[in-house]
Structure 1
Amino acid sequence: MRIEIVDLPGLRKHRENGLDLRKTVLVGLDLTDPDDDSLLKTSLDGALLLGCTLRPETQRRAHAAGALLFPAVPGLPYEVYRSRLYTPAELFEGFDATQPETYALTPDARIYQHTQEQGHPPDPLHALAERLHDHGISEALDDVLTGMPIAVMGGHALTRDSEGYRGAVELGVQLGQAGFTVLTGGGPGAMEAVPLGVRLADKSGVDDALAVLASAPRFGSGRSVDPAEIGRWLAAGLAVDLPTGEQPRTIGLPTWFYGHEPPNPFCELHAKYFENSVREEGLLTVATGGIIYTPGSAGTVQEVFQDYTQNHYGSVGPAAPMVFLGERFWTEEVPAAPLVRELAKGRPAERWILVTDDAAEAVAFLATYASVE
């Protein structure tokens, strides 16, 4: 197992402990200072240096010693060798709530614009850079997650002034009170309503939060990006006063593939990806405590069957709960639940399928699974 070192204090401690750098991974370090350069005067066989800056003579020695050096890629609006998740403050840096159009200046908007300029698929250089970034995000997500996180899936189209949005917020309150770490797709609609509820902690704050959000009930429409419209939506979200604990309870997994949908400001951290397929499969895989499906469209239905496939074959561990919240929707309007139940007959997954209209029952079902597993 390789040891990953992402800052100079960590490298110094590693060397002070008498350890060499064989099969270590150094990420984004500037090692041109003589004192820092001296830290590399040890065995480097099999070391992996990602985006590090070295003195020319040290670079030659590292190559000769069998190290692999991946250079920094210039001119990109993102860190290729990223080793941590994004905070909303990072994604929205430079945004001025009094000037909503400044959303266009944020790293989130600029990175999306960059992907649009590259086309799909991007050329090999940018494709490789994006894959390396996404690999780092997946590793950072694994480092943050503990216990048995649960995920809530649902559509982006819920407006903040709708009853469905309120219901998703209240579901989040109950999940937060039950102590779950909650993952969502990280975008608008149900994906932001649930994290909002988790962080509100109790229902007493729901009305006040929704009153603040009422000034900007939707982020936009279609696949076009109107920075001012998104900025107004974002400004209203940032105006909600929310507590932040020592450990993140809400993590979003958005994607620049759907970059016209901005990440929401309520998730404490975002694992934002370029490749949507990696993001979707990853979200289903790390939600080891189960998944609640609220009404959604094609993307949510796709996730239902991706999730069930994992449960059917046990490809990523024991079958985890699948909770269909909204009985009429999931049995009549979009009858995915009956098909999943039919496929699960006689299998371990059958026990962990629930169709209900009761959020409290859904939360209790997940809690039961956590206590059993």
Structure 2
Amino acid sequence: MASLEFESLDELTAHLDAGGHLRNAVLQNLDLRAVRERILAADPRGAVFLGCTMDAATRTALWDHEALIFPPLPGLPYQPYRAALYDGRELYAGFDPDTPDSYAETLDGRIYRHWQQTGGAEPATLLEALARRLHDLSITNALDEEVRRHERLVAVMGGHGLARTATRYRDVAHLARTLTRRGYVLISGGGPGAMEATHLGACFADRSDDDLEHALTLLATAPHYTDRRWLSTAFDVIDRFGLDQERPVSLGIPTWLYGHEPPTPFASHIAKYFANSLREEGLITLARHGIIFAPGGPGTIQEVFQDNAQNYYETLDVVSPMVFLDRDFWSFTRPAYPLVRQLAMNRRYDPLVTAVDTPEEVVTFIERHPPLR
């Protein structure tokens, strides 16, 4: 039996209007002051209240019903009990493209500053550690809900340093656009470089070749994420092409561990984590229809072997394609491909491993090699 979860007051009141009970229900980040009597009358035995606003009398009455109450946590720039994924407009609210330094006062900038001031990767207090874990649990829950709406997820891994002017950046944008047009949902680590190109391509799935070329030309004026106008040019493209109004779904999964790398606002949904390990494992696990590895450094290579181990040991119910984009790079510059090829011999995922050089080859291989269950 599915558990009862309520993430909006409209959902809750509709349930109560229909005569529903609240036994063992989970209510997340809701202001309950206007529905106090209705909640108490709906049998809230064993219900869980995450960060909900209520008065002291309601709290006492719920305790009498053996409800579990996680109180709001004050003084944080982030909401530990959030009910939805982020998007670019929320993370960058207040950003002025004409004043790039305004990033510091955006939600993303304030959370990153708070992360640095409270111990970085090693939270300075137990309360901060708890708040971050509650936040990441909420993000995972929201991500799971979004993923359940889509069947064919493909990830792109690759270096954050890939310039917007690079041939491989353009290649990733084109393959992502084609895969999105063919019904796949693209996911990435949600940062700059190859990750940004993934979501740019997905954004332009319903646009013309000329539109994508125009966007690439605009972005090329700030080719690196360290350039002062990197984020400004991204929002210039979003505004010029009206991408806020409608864009295909793509999922960016960045982390504040790499908070110096701003998340790309081209992703329609952003699952930003504090814990990088959760983020990396999630990326690899979700991409059941394959992972495309664009050129990258140690982080990308780590992801190659995480994915390889998942396929080798068949830790999930499927084995999935591994596509290396740029044969020479993955065979000689960073020779991960020959080792993966050797490890895959006589394993079920052997036919699912390849190295290619063009976006067209990537798309063809993904389409012809669905995951093996």
TM-score band, normalised by the shorter chain? Answer: over 0.9
For residues 123-134 of structure 1, the aligned pairs below 5 Å read: 123-134=125-136
Single out whichever of 104-113 and 18-27 deviates more from structure 2: 18-27
Q: Which residue of 2 aligns with 1:234?
A: 231
Structure 2: distance between partners of 1:372 and 1:285: 14
Question: Which secondary structure does the structure 1 equivalent of 2:215 belong to?
Answer: helix
User: 1:173 touches 1:203 (CA, 8 Å); kept in 2?
Assistant: no
1:12-161 matches, within 5 Å, as 12-33=13-34, 35-119=35-119, 120-122=121-123, 123-145=125-147, 146-161=150-165
Q: Which residue of 1 aligns with 2:179?
A: 175
- Counting matched residue pairs gives 363
Give secondary structure in 1 for the equivalent of 2:251: strand
Match of 2:214 among 180, 201, 208: 208
Counterpart residue type for residue 29 of structure 1: L
CA deviations on 1:97-117 (whole Å, 9 max, x unpaired) are 121111111000110000000
Instruction: Summarize deviations over 1:235-286 as a string: whole Å, max 9, x none.
Output: 1111113446867421100100100000012111111011000000001111
Q: What is residue 360 of structure 1 aligned with on the other side?
A: 360
Q: Distance in 2 between matches of 1:256 and 1:239?
A: 24
CA distance, structure 2, for counterparts of residue 84 and residue 302 of structure 1: 29
Name the CA shift for 1:371/1:132 in 2 (closer, same or farther; >3 Å): closer
Q: Which moved more, 1:161-170 or 1:8-17?
A: 161-170
Cα offset for 1:333? 1.2
Q: CA deviation at 1:372?
A: 7.3
Tell me the residue number matched to 1:273.
273
Looking at structure 1, the residues matched to 37 and 247 of structure 2 have their Cα atoms a distance apart, in angstroms, of 35
Q: Are the counterparts in 2 of residues 178 and 363 from structure 1 also a CA contact under 8 Å?
A: no
SS of alignment partner, residue 26 of structure 1: strand
Q: Could you tell me whether the CA contact under 8 Å between 1:12 and 1:39 is conserved in 2?
A: no
Q: Give distance in 2, aligned partners of 1:189 and 1:265.
A: 13
What is the distance in 1 between the residues matched to 2:192 and 2:142?
23
Does the C-alpha gap of structure 1 residues 244 and 91 become closer, same or farther in structure 2, counting only changes over 3 Å? closer
Q: TM-score w.r.t. structure 2 length?
A: 0.93
The alignment's TM-score, normalised by the length of structure 1, stands at 0.93
Contact 2:326 2:357 (8 Å CA) reproduced: yes
Distance 1:12 1:134 in 2: 27
C-alpha contact 1:159 1:217 (8 A) present in aligned 2: yes
Flag the 1:310–1:60 CA change in 2: closer, same or farther, 3 A. same
Identity within the alignment, %:
44
| CA contact 2:320–2:371 (8 Å) conserved in 1 | no
By how many angstroms is 1:89 displaced? 0.3
Per the TM alignment, residue 63 of structure 1 is displaced from its structure 2 partner at its CA by: 1.2
SS at structure 1 position matched to 2:19? coil
Question: Cα offset for 1:40?
Answer: 2.9
| Pairwise CA RMSD | 1.7
Structure-2 separation of matches of 1:322 and 1:258? 25
| 1:217 aligned residue (202, 212, 223) | 223
Change (3 A) 1:371 1:159: closer
User: Helix, strand or coil for the counterpart of 1:164?
Assistant: helix
Structure-1 separation of matches of 2:330 and 2:40: 59
Distance change in 2, residues 1:246/1:209 (3 Å): closer
The amino acid across from 2:303 in the alignment is E
One-letter code aligned to 1:138: T
Is the deviation greater in 274-283 or in 166-175?
166-175
